[in-house]
Chains A and B, each alone.
Chain A
Amino acid sequence: MVDKIKKGKEDESTFFHPDLLEIPQNDPPYLKGHKCKGCGKIWFPKFSPCPNPDCWSEDMEVIPLSRKGKVYSATDVYIGQPSMREYMPLIVGYVDLPEGVRIFAQLEGEIGSFQCGDEVELVTGPVRNNPNGKPIISYKFKKVG
Chain B
Amino acid sequence: MGNLRDVYIIGVGETTFGMLDDDYHILGQKAVRAAIKDAGISWRDIQSAFVGNGTNGITTGQRIFRDLGMCGKLPIINVESACSSGAMAVHSAYIRVATGIDEISIGVGSENASLHRESGSAPAPGQGDIEAFFGAVMVAKYALRAHRYIYETGTKPEDLALVTVKNRRHATNNPYAWRKGKITVEEILSSRMIATPLTLEQCCAMTDGAGAVIVASEDVVKKLGLPKPVKIAASAVVSGPFDVGFKDETADDVTTLGAKKAYKESGIGPEDIDMVECHDAFTICEPLYYEAMGFCKKGEGMRMLLEGETTHGGRVVWSPRGGMLSYGHPMGASGAVQIVENVRQLRRQCTGYQVEGAKTAMSHVTGGGVQGTQHAACTTHILSV
| Contact surface of A with B, Cβ cutoff 8 Å | 1-3, 16, 43-45, 51, 72-82, 84, 87, 90, 92-94, 96, 100-102, 104-106, 112, 115-116, 127-128, 138
Residue-wise, chain B 218-256 has the 8 Å CB interface mask toward A (1 for contact) of 000000000000000000000000101111010000000
**In the complex, how many angstroms separate the beta carbon of B29 from the nearest chain A beta carbon?**
31
The reply to whether A104 and B130 form a contact with Cβ atoms under 8 Å apart is: yes
Give the size range of B's interface with the partner: 35 or more
Contact of B143 among A3, A43, A77, A84 (CB under 8 A): A77
The reply to whether A81 and B132 form a contact with Cβ atoms under 8 Å apart is: yes
Chain A positions within 8 Å of B143 at CB level: 75, 77
The reply to whether A81 and B144 form a contact with Cβ atoms under 8 Å apart is: no
Chain B positions within 8 Å of A100 at CB level: 245-246
**In the complex, how many angstroms separate the beta carbon of B244 from the nearest chain A beta carbon?**
6
**In the complex, how many angstroms separate the beta carbon of B277 from the nearest chain A beta carbon?**
25
Given A3-B128, A104-B371, A106-B135, check contact A73 B193 (CB 8 Å): no
Q: A92-B134, A102-B247, A112-B196 are in contact. List 6 more A-B contacts (CB 8 A).
A: A3-B128, A72-B246, A77-B140, A80-B137, A81-B124, A138-B134
Stretch of B8-16, B114-122, B293-301, B336-344 contacting A (4+ beta carbons < 8 Å): B114-122
Chain B positions within 8 Å of A1 at CB level: 128, 130, 133
Given A75-B196, A77-B139, A81-B124, check contact A102 B244 (CB 8 Å): yes
The reply to whether A16 and B133 form a contact with Cβ atoms under 8 Å apart is: yes
Q: Which of A74, A87, A104, A128 has the most CB of B within 10 A?
A: A104
The reply to whether B244 and A44 form a contact with Cβ atoms under 8 Å apart is: yes
The reply to whether B140 and A102 form a contact with Cβ atoms under 8 Å apart is: no
Chain A positions within 8 Å of B135 at CB level: 77, 80-81, 84, 87, 90, 92, 106, 127-128
- Flag whether B127 is at the interface (Cβ < 8 A): yes
The reply to whether A82 and B118 form a contact with Cβ atoms under 8 Å apart is: yes
Chain A positions within 8 Å of B249 at CB level: 72-73, 94
Chain A positions within 8 Å of B131 at CB level: 104
Given A2-B127, A81-B121, A106-B134, check contact A75 B144 (CB 8 Å): yes
**In the complex, how many angstroms separate the beta carbon of A127 from the nearest chain B beta carbon?**
6
